[in-house]
Structure formats: structure tokens, C-alpha cells
Amino acid sequence: MMILSADEKRMALEFEIFSEINSLIAARSKELQVTAAAIGELDVIANLAEIAVNNRYTRPESERELQYPYPRREASCRREVACGFVPNDTTWTARSTSSCS
């Protein structure tokens, strides 16, 4: 029979508790990753909002609307940003009542 000191017993109990917690976290890792991503997005939005308030940023208002010379697609926009600066050939025109699809 092995006689353990109080310190060894404490260390064994700490390791047992640590292992239990580790198993519980591992079982929920996907949910924790989704939650962490959502918290990260909220953090970015909250910081941008704080900067906007502190610097008194406002949404621009115009009687004109933007006209793009070609339809923009999200995938091509991401590719352009990843490749660096892309010249902007957007122009302003008088606001129309028709909607583009």
C-alpha cells in the first residue's frame, strides 16, 4: 500500500479535476468556436461604433446615387482586395426612382 503525502493527494485531485474540465470543454469545442467567432464579430462592431461616436462620424447623405460601370460580385471584390489597390471608376449621377436588379 502506498502512503501519499497531503501535497501528493492535492496534486492528484487537481489533475483529476483538470482532466474532467478538459473533457467537458473538448466535448463542446464546436459550440465554443462558434460562440467565440460571434463574440469576435460583436467586438469589432462595438469598437467601430465607439470610434464612430467618439469621432462624430455620420452616414453621408446625397441627392445623387452611386453608379457602378459593371455589376460587382462579392467574390470578385474579395479577390480585388486581396490583390491590393484596384482603381475605382465609380461615378455620381442624379438619383433615379427606378431600381436596379
CA dihedral sign of residues 79, 82, 87, 88 = positive
Cell digits of residue 11: 496534486
Residue 67's pLDDT is what? 64
- CB within 8 A of 63, min separation 6: which ones? 94, 95
Measure the CA–CA gap between 13 and 5, rounded to whole angstroms. Answer: 12
Measure the CA–CA gap between 89 and 61, rounded to whole angstroms. Answer: 20
Q: Which residue has the higher pLDDT, 32 or 73?
A: 32
Domain definitions of the chain by residue range: 6-94
Quote the pTM value: 0.45
**At residue 67, what are phi and psi to the nearest 5 degrees?**
-120, 120
At 83, the pLDDT band (50, 70, 90 cuts) reads low
